[in-house]
Amino acid sequence: MEHLNSRKIALIAIFAALYYAMSYLPGIPAIGAPKVKIQLEAFMASIFGLILGPYLGALTAFLSGFVAWVLPPGSPGPIGLVMLPAMVINALVTGLIYNGRWKSASMLLSLLIIFFWLLPPSHPIEQNFLVGIAATWDKILALLLMVPTAHLMKRISHPESSTTIHEKVKKFNWASFLSLVSAILVLVNAYMISTGGNVLRLEYQLGSDTYRITFGSKDYIAYYVPPFGYLWLLTGIGILTGAILLHIKPDHNTLWSILILVASGLSSVIGGGFIAGLILGALGGLLGFFKAKVHFQRLKPLNIEVLTFFLLAYIGIQADNAWGNFVYAIPIIHDEIFAMTLEAVRASFLISPFSYFIMRVIQAIFAALVASPLINNLRAAGFMIPLKTPKIPASIQNKSIT
């Protein structure tokens, strides 16, 4: 637990007042949930965690959110009450990672993701799998970014070790990596198509509007019902095979790249791995075809610090959003507080899942641009808590740099 002194009490008061002043900025209405607004000042919770640590940062976030909730322009209603813990979780997760406790942060975020998958919007899973994916894919990405972020924290703490790490990750086979992600998306898409025997089409009613999401061509897919529909899995298997061979047998990269490009093109008939798989497969195939292994350029210390703050803020903001998704999916809350049916809740997750991701990235950019000069000045003035080096198990460390 961080020691509370007069300087930190002053920072808590200043940050709470600053957050309240920023609460006058207009929020962005959430797509599909008109009663919910995305507050632009929410990124401040990440900064609280970075500067004050996980616990004092969480306390500051709670006080800031509470004041903004009870005083104008806020309104002390039930929606603000159930969403109040979100920014507390943001500060807590960000502060935990920044202070070397990324395992605790990953456990908290993992639990929020798991709890969402246990709630009604994603059940039955065979019918609402896409709802769960649309609501949690960016949170899963944040979870996967924790170990690389911990490595960057180590570079900030021990700049002298960055040369060795740089040499180990000098080349990264992006062609193989992008193709591997593409293969996973195409396999999931193909499995859903093959078991359904027809085009993957979702339709939801939200108020007076009907929203449809369609992947694949009905004219072609209708002829490939089970058991022959399972042949579409071969497109994903082809991409996966090419991705593996690109890594273990790079001397024949032209052949493997053509395999990836052809299989990715064929997957467009069934939806191309929800479109994203097709794009990633095409990029991976082209990179492999032109023997393009992207070299990591050595970053300046300041650039590494800004990148680290961006990743920390992104993870914290996604933890904030994970809490929002979790409470929004609880039946008594979406029925009584948000006045939305279960079908409307599912539709709200599917309408525009990438828009929320873009908003979170923008918030993380703001947080990084504010945090870097602010933390450096506070550190020079003796306000900052000493940075702790994250402990990364050797097994994970080796996997992440090979």
CATH number at residue 19: 1.10.1760.20
State the average pLDDT over residues 186-199. 76
Could you tell me if 87 and 203 lie in one domain? no
- Assess if residue 102 is contained within a domain: yes
Q: Which pLDDT score is estimated for 36?
A: 54
Q: Which pLDDT score is estimated for 40?
A: 65
Residues 318 and 223: their CA atoms lie apart, in Å, by 41
- Assess if residue 402 is contained within a domain: no
Collapsing DSSP to helix, strand or coil, 121 comes out as helix
Domains in the chain, number: 2
State the average pLDDT over residues 308-337. 92
Q: What is the pLDDT of residues 362-402, one digit of tens each?
A: 889 888 888 888 887 777 766 665 555 555 555 555 544 44
Q: Which amino acid is at 73?
A: P
Q: Which pLDDT score is estimated for 112?
A: 96
Could you tell me if 212 and 73 lie in one domain? no
Could you tell me if 278 and 311 lie in one domain? no
Q: Copy the structure tokens of residue 128.
A: 């609402």
Contact 36, 327 (CB under 8 A): no
- Residues of the chain with pLDDT > 70, as a percent, come to 73
Per-residue confidence band for 62, with pLDDT thresholds at 50, 70 and 90: very high
Q: Which amino acid is at 317?
A: I
Could you tell me if 104 and 178 lie in one domain? no
Residues 93 and 256: their CA atoms lie apart, in Å, by 41
Q: What is the pLDDT of residues 242-300, one digit of tens each?
A: 999 998 988 888 899 999 999 998 888 887 887 778 888 988 888 887 764 444 445 45
State the average pLDDT over residues 307-332. 93
Collapsing DSSP to helix, strand or coil, 171 comes out as strand
Q: Which pLDDT score is estimated for 130?
A: 84
State the average pLDDT over residues 15-34. 70
- Assess if residue 312 is contained within a domain: yes
Could you tell me if 110 and 31 lie in one domain? yes
Residue 216 has pLDDT above 80, yes or no: no
- Assess if residue 81 is contained within a domain: yes
Could you tell me if 152 and 189 lie in one domain? no
Per-residue confidence band for 174, with pLDDT thresholds at 50, 70 and 90: confident
Residue 77 has pLDDT above 90, yes or no: no
Which of 261, 295, 329 is where one domain is finished? 295
Residues 193 and 188: their CA atoms lie apart, in Å, by 9
- C-alpha 344 chain-centroid distance: 23
- Assess if residue 382 is contained within a domain: yes
- Assess if residue 205 is contained within a domain: yes
pTM reported for the whole predicted model: 0.68
Contact 158, 387 (CB under 8 A): no
- Assess if residue 22 is contained within a domain: yes
Residues 86 and 90: their CA atoms lie apart, in Å, by 6
- Assess if residue 1 is contained within a domain: no
Could you tell me if 341 and 389 lie in one domain? yes
Residue 206 has pLDDT above 60, yes or no: no
Could you tell me if 59 and 84 lie in one domain? yes
Q: Which pLDDT score is estimated for 218?
A: 58
Structural domain containing residue 44: 6-165+299-397
Which of 236, 261, 295 is where one domain is finished? 295
* Residue pointed to by tokens 């003035």: 381
Which of 295, 313, 347 is where one domain is finished? 295
Residue 165 has pLDDT above 50, yes or no: no
Q: Which pLDDT score is estimated for 71?
A: 87
Q: Which amino acid is at 192?
A: M
State the average pLDDT over residues 163-170. 48
CA-nearest of 312, 320, 290, 328 to 367 is 312
For 10-27, the DSSP string reads HHHHHHHHHHHHHTTSPP
Could you tell me if 155 and 191 lie in one domain? no
Could you tell me if 63 and 193 lie in one domain? no
Could you tell me if 101 and 248 lie in one domain? no
Per-residue confidence band for 358, with pLDDT thresholds at 50, 70 and 90: confident
Residue 110 has pLDDT above 60, yes or no: yes
Contact 312, 46 (CB under 8 A): yes
For residue 38, what are the CA distances in angstroms to 81, 135, 197, 226, 284?
15, 16, 39, 44, 35
Could you tell me if 16 and 59 lie in one domain? yes
